[in-house]
Amino acid sequence: MTESKALILGAGGPVLSADEIALYRNERPWGFILFARNIQEPSQIADLAAAMRDTVGRPDAPVLIDQEGGRVQRIRPPLVEKYPSAAALGALYRQDREMGLRAAWLMSRLHAFDLLKLGINVDCLPVLDVPVEGASNVIGDRAYGFDPVTVSDMGKAAADGLTSGGVLPVMKHIPGHGRGMADSHHDLPVVAASRAELEAHDFLPFRALKDELMAMSAHIVFTAIDPDQPATTSPRVIEEIIRGYIGFDGLLMSDDTSMNALKGTIGERARRIAGGGCDIILHCNGVMEEMKAVVAEARPLQAEALRRARQVEAAFGPGDGSDETALRQEFWGLLYSS
């Protein structure tokens, strides 16, 4: 079988265009990602996921989504329930640790019920970023708390809830986006904290969850490690910190190539992502001309990246058989009783 390319691509709308089908068939992305523009109703979502997989001839091809809860929830009511933010769950944890952990596990398990029946098998959750006072609100209430222990504990519970439901988690944004004073969708955040500060705060949750199978990079410059390049394109950050100090040996995907924290043309950005050490180039917006520029720079999955991708594929499976109605009642009961 021809190997997949080290790509995850989006689509422009709720149904694949002829151009998208041709691009996917020719370029064979490893996976796909959905956004609100791709969402109309349940059978349409399932059909879109199936059509994406059909173009690459792989029924287990990853189909990702950002379904965190709070303000980052691509599938919304009435299709699924409106889930609370990570910060709301973190407040439960501070009130009662066990209750908070159970709530984090339950919400992820409910996400898995919602997503798997639609053909979506990867959720870009948990957010393991630890904000500091004054940081950009791009993370904000997406974080479980302002201390790394809370974030580590709750992130682990959230990841386990997804896995129990047959949906795989993606940690983000490794090695940490919490100190960013700018929104990396628009500008490049530069973090001047010392390595000792970063190790004690930002990197800690990722070390705690280093055995997860997937992570998404941070478009952030850490001047103490590499003053010239954001983590996403920095061989030094990826090798010394993500692979070395943190010890993460799973599949590392970039954050979105089209975010303006990255400089240069879309093709130049993709080339630097591939050259920096990320296993997978992520491109989200579904704009055809941009996708063509990205695929021109992408390589086939090979060597360590291929091994990591195969580990992910081997981990897909059915959920644990839990009673969905009972878990929903338990989750909302916890929320309302707090």
Active-site positions read 185, 255
Count CA atoms within 13 Å of residue 121 on its CB side. 21
**First vs last C-alpha separation in the chain:** 53
Report cis status (omega within 30 of 0) of the bond before 126.
yes
Contact 52, 16 (CB under 8 A): yes
Phi, psi for 239 (deg, rounded to 5): -75, -50
CA distance 324 to 152: 26
Strand order across the beta sheet in which 168-169 lies: 168-169, 122-123, 63-65, 29-34, 5-9, 281-283
CA distance 204 to 155: 12
Encoded amino acid at 231, one letter:
A
Phi, psi for 169 (deg, rounded to 5): -85, 160
CA distance 178 to 231: 14
In this structure, the dihedral spanned by the alpha carbons of residues 11, 13, 15 and 19, taken in order and rounded to 10 degrees, is -50
CA distance 109 to 172: 18
Name the H helices within the chain: 18-27, 42-56, 86-95, 97-116, 148-164, 195-200, 204-208, 235-236, 266-276, 288-295, 303-315, 324-337
Contact 293, 264 (CB under 8 A): no
Tokens linked to 29: 């992305």
Which residues on neighbouring strands pair with residue 67, listed in sequence order? 73
Count CA atoms within 13 Å of residue 194 on its CB side. 3
Name the H helices within 229-287: 235-236, 266-276
